[in-house]
Amino acid sequence: MDLLDKIPRGVPAGWEKETFAVGGLMYLGFSNLQTEKLVVISSQGQSVIDCRTWEKVWCTECYDEQDLTARAGPLGNEAIPIAGEGGGGLRRSNPSGDGLDMAAPFWPKEQIVFMPRSVSWYQHPEACTMIFDDYAPLAFGFSRCGRYIAVGTSSEVDIFRRGE
């Protein structure tokens, strides 16, 4: 636990954060073709968030819990990998060498740590940032391009966007 206390909390340097309220989040998934687009599936319906502009557009629900894929009208016919209550996972690292790791020394509270440029929070906790310190993250990870991070709980989605 001492190590986690040394990690600064908040938004990593050079990144911005926006939080979206979501009722009953079930799944998240980044498009592999339009990497700034995040599909959000909840008990309220399905939407696509443009992580570049923070714009949210509702669309027809179309997801497969067996294959863990979704389709969304604004994204054409792309099968988007999703992660959430039925399994799956988002990317834990990006092309720049940044990474995400989860710790839970006092479960059920969990922490998600952003590690810049292949830095390990075990060796250099002061160089990392704790971007989540709460209960029950449903899914978290990077977009394919690595410029966006999503962290989803049952009630909200935090989106981090790397500055231009």
DSSP 107-141: TTEEEEEEEGGG--TTT-GGGSEEEEEEE---EEE
Residue 70 sits in which domain range?
2-162
DSSP 133-156: EEE---EEEE-TTSSEEEEE-SSE
What is the pLDDT, as a whole number, of residue 12? 98
Mean pLDDT, the chain, whole residue set: 96
Residue 6 has which token pair? 């040394």
State pLDDT tens for residues 61-77: 999 999 999 999 989 99
Q: Give me Rg for the CA atoms of the chain.
A: 15
Residue 2 has which token pair? 């001492």
Number of structural domains, the chain?
1
What is the phi-psi region of residue 11: left when phi exceeds 0, alpha when psi lies from -120 to 50, beta otherwise?
beta
* 1 pLDDT more than 60: no
The rounded distance, in Å, linking the Cα atoms of 125 and 24 is 33
5 Cβ neighbours under 8 A, 6+ residues apart: none
State pLDDT tens for residues 83-120: 999 999 999 999 999 999 999 998 999 999 999 999 99
